[in-house]
């Protein structure tokens, strides 16, 4: 079975490499065609005598030296139409597309778009979520590990969205989509609706986001619709200091949910080095337990350095997760399966190459 699995994987990799070579040749002939992406890996260490645990947030959760993902993005942009094909390989990529099956388990995004006018753009296909401050790709986040709000909100959507340019500063978006994270097809026959309104300046922007619709748990359609509202904002307050904020509320009646808020201050000390903090408060609702348990409170403090050498970014990171219940282990409690600690400190050193 292992050899068969490896053969299938090798075939997928070879297919992607051949496709990449062909696309690179085309890109040299047509400057509107672009190949971009990244590769990343990391080292993780817990300040605990039990290394086989991590915060219950997405990515960067494996002990010791570990792989992130390889990300290859092919895009084409003409005057009116274009496409994006975003492929991922590796553990972070697998986690990002965890509900996909078959050949689509390497597809992070796959969509086409049509600029109908200066004011309207239509996008059709699979695209990463518009909710939240953080994203799947490590090149789009300052912190390498991710927040709880990002981890338990939607990752991606498949559907049709319309972006509207209302003025030089104001924008809006409306969307109809499959149930959250069902990106390959719709097995349930129900849909989720999305909306966004944004305000942008040269210094930054503010976005109000919302989704509403019945979801599918793999076996049955939830009787009650999921509602999530989200505020994301970030501005350069000075040439050296940036401040971001994310606040969100997610609820499915009688099935649980969560709410939270996070601040993202960042200071640029030199042209090549910056320091950033994520200070997050995350509270689970009392009628469900998506993470640690009903009515549990969590604080996440993540301090990240970012040192750039050419296209390579090194990110040393210290993280402390403090939870109102015992959810972490020492070596003795790990053997019994009964958690004994309410906090976990960890160190991560990540290396990201962007091209």
Taking the chain (355 residues) in runs of 10, the rounded mean pLDDT of each run is 39 50 51 93 97 96 97 96 97 89 84 97 98 97 98 96 98 97 92 98 98 89 92 98 98 91 97 98 88 96 98 98 97 95 98 97
Residues 6+ apart with CB under 8 A from 37: 70, 71, 72, 73, 354, 355
- For the chain, the farthest-separated pair of C-alpha atoms sits apart, in whole angstroms, at 64
pLDDT score of 6? 36
pLDDT score of 117? 97
Q: pTM for the complete prediction?
A: 0.89
Q: Where are the domains of the chain?
A: 1-31, 32-354
DSSP single-letter state for residue 288: -
DSSP per residue over 128-171, as a string? E-SSSS--SSGGG-SSSS--HHHHHS--EEEEEEEEEE-SSSEE
DSSP per residue over 73-135, as a string? EEEEE-SSEEEEEEEEESHHHHHHTTT--GGGGGEEEEEEEEE-SSSEEEEEEEEE-SSSS--
pLDDT score of 102? 66
pLDDT score of 7? 43
Fold of 32-354: Porin (2.40.160)
Structural element, H or E, at residue 11: helix 2-29
């Amino acid at each position: 079975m292992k050899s068969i699995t490896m053969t299938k994987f090798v075939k997928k990799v070879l297919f992607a490499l051949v496709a990449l070579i062909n696309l690179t040749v085309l890109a040299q002939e047509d400057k509107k065609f672009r190949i971009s992406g990244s590769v990343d890996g990391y080292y993780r260490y817990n300040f605990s005598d039990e290394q086989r645990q991590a915060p219950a947030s997405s990515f960067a959760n494996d002990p010791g030296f570990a792989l992130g993902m390889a990300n290859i993005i092919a895009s084409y942009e003409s005057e009116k139409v274009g496409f994006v094909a975003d492929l991922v390989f590796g553990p972070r990529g697998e986690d990002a597309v965890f509900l996909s099956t078959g050949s689509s388990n390497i597809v992070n995004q796959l969509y086409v778009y049509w600029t109908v006018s200066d004011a309207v753009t239509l996008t059709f296909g699979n695209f990463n979520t518009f909710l939240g401050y953080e994203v799947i790709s490590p090149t789009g986040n300052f912190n390498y590990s991710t927040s709880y709000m990002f981890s338990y909100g939607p990752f991606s959507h498949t559907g049709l969205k319309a972006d509207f340019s209302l003025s030089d500063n104001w924008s809006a978006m409306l969307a109809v989509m499959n149930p959250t994270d069902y990106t390959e097809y719709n097995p349930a026959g129900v849909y989720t609706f999305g909306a966004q309104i944004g305000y942008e300046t040269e210094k930054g922007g503010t976005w109000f986001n919302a989704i509403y619709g019945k979801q599918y748990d793999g076996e049955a359609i939830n009787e009650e619709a999921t509602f999530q509202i989200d505020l994301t904002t970030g501005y350069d307050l000075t040439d050296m200091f940036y401040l971001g904020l994310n606040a969100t509320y997610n609820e499915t009646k009688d099935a649980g949910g969560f709410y939270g808020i996070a601040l993202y201050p960042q200071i640029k000390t030199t042209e090549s080095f910056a320091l950033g903090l994520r200070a997050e408060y995350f509270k689970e609702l009392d009628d469900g337990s998506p993470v640690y348990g009903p009515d549990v409170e969590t604080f996440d403090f993540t301090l990240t350095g970012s040192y750039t050498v050419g296209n390579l970014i090194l990110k040393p990171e210290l993280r402390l997760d403090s939870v109102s219940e015992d959810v972490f282990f020492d070596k003795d409690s790990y053997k019994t399966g009964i958690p004994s600690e309410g906090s976990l400190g960890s160190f991560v050193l990540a290396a990201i190459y962007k091209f």
